[in-house]
Amino acid sequence: MNQPALTKVKRLEGVLSPVVTPFRKDYSPDAERFVRHCKWLLKNGCSGLAVFGTNSEANSLSVSEKRSLLEKLVSGGVPAASLMPGTGSCALPDTIELTRAAVELGCAGVLVLPPFYYKGVLDEGLYRSFAEVIERVGDERLQLYLYHIPPVSQIGFSLELIERLLKKYPGIVAGVKDSGGIWSNTKAMLDAFAKSGFDVFSGSEVFLLDNMRNGGKGCITATGNINPGAIDKLYRNWKGADADKLQAGITATRKIVQKQRMIPALKASIAHFGNDPQWKTCRPPLVELSSAEETTLISELKASGFTMPGLAG
């Protein structure tokens, strides 16, 4: 067993994938395929893995399923230092349990949704929620990233709330993933906090170049699951002369995928290019693509020259 160091893990930067979670026919999580896909991602452009994100169907998994998968990733050879698992849920004890487990495994960070069942809650309540998580985990190794995704969670982080958390817990509140889809909001976070050691990741590669040009640290993006190499190429060359051209290329691929329902589309792509149909399974309430949707997706991807090198083994 590797004993994680009692100091903070080096912060992640670059392209992170919110790794899709494979299921067996009976909807149970498939740790073996999960480890395999994580390793492919790290070999093909991802510098980190935001497992248990929205695209991972993470909120359809129980805490014990997530703990088990996390342990299997690490024991299966995925470095804990590459992991930024999502640990936020509606219930405070669940968030605390999974956050603590991640820190104890030596994960680089955790990406934490606000509690999302109650709508229209006060910032004071969200502040208390995050303060309770941080205090009860009570571990200086914790690096907590705020997961801002109002289109799904309906609850987000105001600049005032971020400021209050950052002031109270500097070094622990490490950054944000902004999946709100509104560049002006990402920009406002960058302008306000990037210089205070608050690492801003755009929630889509569509804003990767804008984010890097304004002091951001990379992106955590759904399509990182299937197109990590091209996205990473822009990340590494964002100061280069062809940066805008690289951006246009990855944006075009994204547009093909997001014409379909995103999560089943990612899974259909992995199933097709990896020659592994079991990947298509989604856990309810999500539903796999229809044959027609799948045919459209794959033919449009192929026509664009898209590939997933080495996936089929």
Count CA atoms closer than 13 A to 10's CA, side-chain side: 7
- Nearest approach in angstroms of CB 171 to a copy of itself is 22
CB-based contacts of 184, cutoff 8 Å, min separation 6:
none
Q: Which residue number, 51 or 231, has a Cβ lying nearer to a copy of itself?
A: 51
The residue within the footprint of a copy of itself, chosen from 32, 124, 191, 244 (CB under 8 A), is: 124
Using CA atoms, how far apart are residues 25 and 49, in angstroms rounded to an integer? 25
- Nearest approach in angstroms of CB 50 to a copy of itself is 16
The residue within the footprint of a copy of itself, chosen from 60, 237, 251, 307 (CB under 8 A), is: 60
The residue within the footprint of a copy of itself, chosen from 12, 15, 61, 110 (CB under 8 A), is: 61
| Binding of a copy of itself by 258 (CB under 8 A) | no
Using CA atoms, how far apart are residues 221 and 205, in angstroms rounded to an integer? 6
CB count in 10 Å sphere of residue 203: 25
The residue within the footprint of a copy of itself, chosen from 39, 59, 251, 300 (CB under 8 A), is: 59
CA dihedral 254, 258, 261, 266 (to 10 degrees): -10
Using CA atoms, how far apart are residues 169 and 206, in angstroms rounded to an integer? 31
Q: CA dist 16 to 19, 177, 203, 228, Å? A: 9, 10, 10, 8
Structure token digits, residue 65? 């399923």
Here's the x/- map for a copy of itself, 78-117, by CB under 8 A: it reads as -----------xxxxxx--x----------------xxxx
Among residues 177, 174, 240, the alpha carbon closest in space to that of 211 is found at: 177
The residue within the footprint of a copy of itself, chosen from 10, 25, 119, 195 (CB under 8 A), is: 119
Structure token digits, residue 20? 């899709």
The residue within the footprint of a copy of itself, chosen from 132, 139, 210, 300 (CB under 8 A), is: 132
| Binding of a copy of itself by 285 (CB under 8 A) | yes
- Nearest approach in angstroms of CB 152 to a copy of itself is 6
User: What residues between 187 and 246 interact with a copy of itself by CB under 8 A?
Assistant: none
Residues that bind a copy of itself (CB under 8 A): 27, 54, 59-65, 89-94, 97, 114-119, 121-122, 124-126, 128-129, 132, 151-155, 282-287
